[in-house]
A and B are shown apart, each in its own frame.
Chain A
Amino acid sequence: MARSRGGHVNYNWNWGIFFQPNPMGTGTYLDMLLSGLALTLKTAALAWVIALITGSIVGVMRTLPSKGANWFGFAYVEFFRNMPLLVQLFLWFFVLPELLPKGAGTWLKQLPNAPFWTAAIGVGFFMSARVAVQLQAGIGSLPRGQKMAATALGLTTVQTYRYVLLPMAFRIILPPLTSEFLNTIKNTAVAITIGLLELTGQARSMQEFSFQVFEAFTAATLLYLLVNAVVVTAMRFLERWVAIPGYITGK
């Protein structure tokens, strides 16, 4: 392998490798990387949707007066944020099917695209704990009187969150949410360990087939950077789009 001892001395740079056919017959090596990129984006998108929805619910629960809701939110966050992501993916992928009744376990194991679903859901839950903590902090940073004013007008708790607290809390946590979105994209790379051929996975197979390790991972790095630059730019636009005239959010 190119990266082994002394390998770099005789390393044959070949940037044309991307346009040579890959041994799988699915087009060029570039096509291979791009299909990996597409899978990375799909996995990250689904994971982020899961993270946002469940994270928001759990984050709200942590701010409710109900002790039960609080306790559940606390336990949820500590469970998903205190275990390494890698371990969580292994749990969902290898251990969960064994714990289920036999029929359900077999069904799960034979599910088409099991690595994709496991990765999206696993990364989604992992990130949801982080979204929950951000949202809890965002709600907590609002003046206590906001909730009182909404309550005093006759709004129910659900209406108070929907129309008064959450619109402000989400605006406040938009910058940290951008970071969490980027983390979600990067974390999908861990799914290589359960056999998902996302961008990192495809870069690795390209390296194994062609021995052009530096070209493969340079391309993967650039693609990750590009995706994240697009996300950062889009989030900046979103921040400006929802900014409130006269209201200073920067702290």
Chain B
Amino acid sequence: MIEISHVNKWYTPSFQVLTDCTTSVTKGEVVVVCGPSGSGKSTLIKCVNALEPFQSGDILVDGTKVNDPKTNLPKLRSRVGMVFQHFELFPHLKIIDNLCLAQEKVLGRPRDKAQTKGMQLLERVGLKEQAQKFPAQLSGGQQQRVAIARALAMDPIVMLFDEPTSALDPEMVSEVLDVMVDLAREGMTMMVVTHEMGFARKVANRVIFMDRGEIVEDASKDDFFGKPRSDRAQKFLSKILSH
């Protein structure tokens, strides 16, 4: 579903953020990307739907080359759902309109169909009653669940999560993770940048560990948590799992 091969990215000629990153996500797979801050994991996931450009290498999503100038990027992006750290709901639109905007303007769905779809998804994330409210009237956890519903409304073939729980109060983390776990169990293809190792243990098929722009470890979940091969991954794990 996602093929990342030999991707290199520089912010300036002397500052390389991604170094020869190669990995893939197959259909129905849940891949967790972890690593210390500044290791390039958010940058890598943003390269997948071309929110960030990169200088060399290739990324294919469902067979379409992301870095081909001829690729219709809006069309490609409409099939790739993305959830951000800071939710990024559109504050001037009601919750239901947040879910309908791209359905109508990008997919060309008629308003009533978009609304039906939107209400179904709000029900699924447990927020049907909030449909007529505005984002600022919801808690962080609720906003993030709306953001997930908004991405799902586009019927994505794959979902990208960029630290979806990092900006949340601790008591709101689980309500968001619950939605993600359900999604994973239903067979959604997911690439998730997160520090939530509990989530990784529960539903991940594979774990990718990044450090200083490189993919240091790319292993099945059991291998990663059981016996990480690299020193750096071992140290990282021992630090974040020690409490």
Contact = CB atoms under 8 A, between A and B. Distances in A.
A151 B76 CA distance: 11
B84 interface: yes
Interface stretch (B55-63, B88-96, B185-193): B88-96
A225 B90 CA distance: 38
A148 B90 CA distance: 11
Interface residues of B, number: 33
A248 B105 CA distance: 28
Interface string A172-185: 00000000000000
Given A245-B137, A247-B134, A154 B88 contact: no
Contact of A246 (B90, B137, B150, B154): B137
B133 interface: yes
Contact of A152 (B49, B89, B92, B134): B49
Contacts of B136: 244-248
A97 B227 CA distance: 83
Nearest to A164: B90
Interface in A197-251: 244-248
Nearest to A163: B101
Interface in B67-97: 74-80, 82, 84-86, 88-92
Interface string B132-160: 01111100000000010011001000000
B160 to A, nearest CB: 8
Interface residues of A, number: 23
Interface string A135-152: 000000001011011111
Interface in B101-145: 101-102, 105-107, 133-137
A146 B90 contact: yes
Contacts of A163: 90, 101, 105
Contact of B77 (A151, A244, A248): A151
B74 A155 contact: yes
B242 to A, nearest CB: 32
A159 B73 CA distance: 14
A151 B78 contact: no
Contacts of A156: 74
Given A143-B86, A245-B133, A245-B136, A153 B91 contact: no
A81 interface: no
Contacts of B79: 154
A27 interface: no
Given A163-B105, A167-B92, A247-B91, A145 B86 contact: yes
A168 interface: yes
22 contacts: A143-B86, A145-B84, A149-B84, A149-B88, A149-B89, A149-B90, A149-B147, A150-B90, A152-B51, A152-B80, A153-B101, A153-B106, A154-B78, A154-B107, A155-B102, A163-B105, A171-B92, A245-B134, A246-B134, A246-B136, A247-B136, A248-B136
| 4 nearest CB pairs, A to B | A154-B78, A246-B136, A149-B88, A153-B102
Given A152-B82, A154-B75, A163-B105, 18 more contacts: A143-B86, A143-B88, A145-B86, A146-B88, A149-B90, A149-B147, A152-B51, A152-B80, A153-B102, A154-B78, A155-B105, A163-B101, A168-B91, A245-B134, A246-B133, A246-B134, A247-B91, A247-B134
Interface of B: 46, 49, 51, 74-80, 82, 84-86, 88-92, 101-102, 105-107, 133-137, 147, 150-151, 154
